[in-house]
Amino acid sequence: MVEKGQTPSYIVKIIMLGFTRAGKTALLKKYLDGSFPNKYTPTQPMNLENKRITVGENLVQASIWDIGSQMGYDTLLPLYYKGALGALLVFDLTKKKSLEVIPKFINELSKYAPGIPISLIANKKDLVEDREITQEEIDEILEKIRKEWNQKVTYFETSAKDPQEKIAVIFEDLIQNIIHEKIENIEDEIFI
């Protein structure tokens, strides 16, 4: 149980990246308050939200940076990536281009935040008839992330719009991976 005024054991910075209209902000809104936005409003250039959760016996404050994907913000990206401990890469199952830009984000992560845990999120699974991306294409990109970029990655398929979807699982899985890795690294340093 999170108590008001309690100091978090950890503060973790998570960045959300993805193609325009992939549903990053909708996923974040659903995670924060369970709602789905009625209309699309592009994120310009970045939206910062915080949420506190309990992981084991630790209070964790997740500082989630929803980074806009509109043109013109590329020069700011290194600043947004700095200090990130995890990343959510979101693509739209109904737009092939949204998966095709994922390698660009992986390259940027490799440069500005190497080795951080990544969750690859396929959004809009409710739009089955409009789906443009096959499972084989997703498997290919996951394999590439793991082998070519040597990145840890988990994969989720979801819909921010579907009220039955458990969006919290996606965010909290990444937070747990970050905390596990952080605690593991601290213990390695102590016993070296």
Is 90 exceeded by the pLDDT of residue 188? no
Parallel, antiparallel, or unpaired for β 10-18 and 86-92?
parallel
pLDDT band at 42 (very low <50, low <70, confident <90, very high): low
Alpha carbons 66 and 48: distance in angstroms, whole number = 6
Q: Which residue has the higher pLDDT, 69 or 129?
A: 129
Mean pLDDT in residue range 73-94: 88
Give the C-alpha separation, 64 to 60, whole Å.
Answer: 12
- Higher-pLDDT residue of 189, 114: 114
For residue 57, what pLDDT is reported?
85
User: Phi, psi (5° rounding) for residue 51?
Assistant: -145, 135
**pLDDT value for 189:** 44
Full set of structural domains in the chain with CATH: 10-186 (3.40.50.300)
Query: What's at 166, amino acid-wise?
Result: K
Lowest mean pLDDT among 39-43, 45-49, 108-112, 160-164: 39-43
The identity of residue 118, as a single letter, is I
58 pLDDT band (50/70/90 cuts)?
confident
Picking from 17, 42, 29, the residue whose alpha carbon sits closest to that of residue 161 is 29
Lowest mean pLDDT among 28-32, 42-46, 91-95, 155-159: 42-46
More confident residue, 139 or 180: 139
The predicted structure's pLDDT at residue 20: 85
Residues with Cβ within 8 Å of 101's Cβ and at least 6 positions away in sequence, in order, are 18, 19, 91
H or E element, residue 172:
helix 167-190
The answer on pLDDT for 40 being more than 60 is no
Does the pLDDT of residue 184 top 70, yes or no? no
Q: Contact at 8 Å (CB) between 170 and 134?
A: no
pLDDT over threshold 50, residue 192: no
d(CA 9, CA 17): 26
The three-class DSSP label of residue 170 is helix
Residue 143, CB half-sphere, CA atoms under 13 Å: how many? 6
93-139 pLDDT, tens per residue?
999 999 999 999 999 999 999 989 999 999 999 999 999 999 999 99
